């Protein structure tokens, strides 16, 4: 059997969760058990993508931290004999993946972008901030994996399955003091097919206004570089890069982003990259499919207006 962890929020299953199920079916022909913490979603969506069983892990008190959720998941995992345990390489997924691998004393390969079957299975992942990649193989019968979102397109494979509730009684060591909601209507960069990102070149919080307007017209998410986040111009949830979120959208528009290695590591697998920057020597142009040398405060509004005319 293969265990696949899927994420959900506000009643919606994250898009990349379906990609994990497709990856699992291609990896090995075995029954897939999809598991998650908490309920409030439509499990029929999971069965559409090939899961034979959906397990909902519940705790006798609500858990809020990755540490607590990981312990609850571990309580479930140690009752199963999974050959592979698969997580999304999302911000939360990577954390829980590493914790569960440690609890289970299993090898782990994070942020996988491809695999091939050669005397077993070997997995591809990026290293050196995305400048190179390596192929890795585990020398055990079981392992834990995390898969980069938007790399393996989800493919429907309807199946009949059943739902199970798994009860736990984990105690958290950290007390949640409050939860602050992000702006309404924002699209998560990890989920988006189109991302419009701003960097140091936006100059300040107000500089994200034209970025947001273009994103609204395109139905896109708003991204940001670490420089913009560290400066306090935008929330960390928007950060793309090695210390932020890894994305692979169909279209990535980088506005005022020079292209530091840590940022490129998080978005270089985007299908089409458009760069807008005043500096013709900015590193971002080296990986861009289309480059525009100029002032983003002139180009982005003009692009937004032209797109409005086309809609």
Mark residue 119 as left, alpha or beta (left: phi above 0; alpha: psi -120 to 50; beta: remaining). Answer: left
Query: What does the mean pLDDT of the chain come to?
Result: 92
Is residue 20 within 8 A of residue 97, CB to CB? The reply is: no
Distance, in Å, from the CA atom of 207 to the CA atom of 200, rounded to the nearest integer, reads: 9
Residue with tokens 């697998």: 269
Helices of type H across the chain: 15-27, 44-47, 66-77, 91-104, 209-218, 226-230, 261-267, 296-310
Distance, in Å, from the CA atom of 169 to the CA atom of 61, rounded to the nearest integer, reads: 7
Distance, in Å, from the CA atom of 114 to the CA atom of 125, rounded to the nearest integer, reads: 7
Task: Kindly tell me if the per-residue pLDDT of 126 is higher than 70.
Answer: yes
CA-based R_g, the chain, Å: 20
57-116 residue pLDDT tens:
999 999 999 999 999 999 999 999 999 999 999 889 999 999 999 999 999 999 999 999
Task: Kindly tell me if the per-residue pLDDT of 181 is higher than 70.
Answer: no
**pLDDT confidence bin for 31, thresholds 50/70/90:** very high
Task: Kindly tell me if the per-residue pLDDT of 184 is higher than 70.
Answer: no
What are residue 8's DSSP bridge partners? 13
18-22, 137-141, 184-188, 232-236: segment of lowest average pLDDT: 184-188
Task: Kindly tell me if the per-residue pLDDT of 27 is higher than 60.
Answer: yes
Task: Give the contacts of 223 (CB within 8 A, at least 6 positions apart).
Answer: 189, 195, 196, 197, 198, 238, 239, 240, 247, 252, 267
Angle between helices 209-218 and 296-310 (to 10 degrees): 20
For range 10-24, the mean pLDDT: 92
Strands of the sheet with 132-136, listed across from one edge: 132-136, 121-127, 108-117, 143-147, 84-88, 2-5, 32-37, 53-59, 162-168
Task: Kindly tell me if the per-residue pLDDT of 279 is higher than 80.
Answer: yes
Distance, in Å, from the CA atom of 112 to the CA atom of 147, rounded to the nearest integer, reads: 5
- Nearest CA to 221 out of 281, 282, 290, 149 is that of 149
What domains can be seen in the chain, in order of their start residue? 2-168 (3.40.50.620), 194-310 (3.40.50.1220)
**pLDDT confidence bin for 159, thresholds 50/70/90:** confident
For range 128-156, the mean pLDDT: 89
Looking at 121-210, which runs of residues are DSSP E strands? 121-127, 132-136, 143-147, 162-168, 194-198
**pLDDT confidence bin for 206, thresholds 50/70/90:** very high
Percentage of the chain modeled with pLDDT above 70? 98
- CA angle 274/278/280 to nearest 5° reads 75
DSSP string, 57-93: EEESS---SHHHHHHHHHHHHTTS--SEEEEE-SHHH
- CA angle 85/89/93 to nearest 5° reads 70
Tell me how many helices (H) and strands (E) the chain has.
8, 16
- Model pLDDT, residue 177: 84
Task: Kindly tell me if the per-residue pLDDT of 2 is higher than 60.
Answer: yes
Query: Higher model confidence: residue 102 or residue 182?
Result: 102
Task: Kindly tell me if the per-residue pLDDT of 53 is higher than 90.
Answer: yes
- Model pLDDT, residue 128: 78
For range 118-129, the mean pLDDT: 86
For range 11-28, the mean pLDDT: 93
- Model pLDDT, residue 43: 86
Angle between helices 66-77 and 91-104 (to 10 degrees): 50
């Amino acid at each position: 059997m293969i265990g696949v962890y899927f994420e959900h929020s506000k009643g919606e299953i994250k898009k990349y969760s379906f990609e994990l199920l497709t990856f699992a079916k291609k990896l090995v022909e075995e029954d897939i058990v999809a598991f998650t913490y908490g309920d409030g979603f439509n499990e029929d969506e999971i069965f559409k993508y090939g899961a034979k069983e959906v397990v909902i892990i519940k705790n006798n008190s609500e858990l809020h931290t990755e540490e607590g959720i990981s312990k609850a998941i571990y309580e479930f995992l140690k009752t199963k004999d999974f050959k592979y345990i698969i997580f999304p390489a999302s911000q939360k997924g990577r954390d829980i993946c590493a914790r569960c691998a440690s609890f289970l004393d299993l090898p782990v390969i994070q942020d996988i972008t491809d695999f091939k079957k050669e005397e077993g299975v070997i997995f591809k992942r990026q290293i050196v901030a995305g400048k190179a990649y390596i192929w890795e193989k585990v020398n055990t019968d079981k392992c834990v994996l995390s898969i980069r979102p938007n790399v393996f397109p989800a493919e429907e494979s309807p199946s009949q399955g059943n739902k199970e509730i798994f009860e736990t009684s984990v105690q958290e060591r950290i007390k949640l003091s409050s939860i602050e909601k992000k702006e309404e209507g924002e699209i998560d960069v990890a989920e988006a097919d189109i991302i419009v990102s701003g960097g140091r070149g936006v100059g300040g919080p107000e500089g994200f206004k034209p970025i947001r307007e273009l994103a609204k017209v395109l139905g896109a998410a708003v991204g940001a570089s670490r420089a913009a986040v560290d400066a306090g111009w935008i929330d960390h949830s928007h950060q793309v890069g090695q210390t932020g979120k890894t994305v692979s959208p169909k279209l990535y528009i980088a506005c005022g982003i020079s292209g530091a290695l840590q940022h490129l590591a998080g978005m270089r697998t985007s299908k089409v990259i458009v760069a807008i920057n005043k500096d013709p020597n900015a590193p971002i142009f080296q990986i861009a499919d289309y480059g525009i040398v100029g002032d983003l405060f002139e180009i982005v509004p003009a692009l937004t207006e032209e797109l409005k005319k086309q809609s």
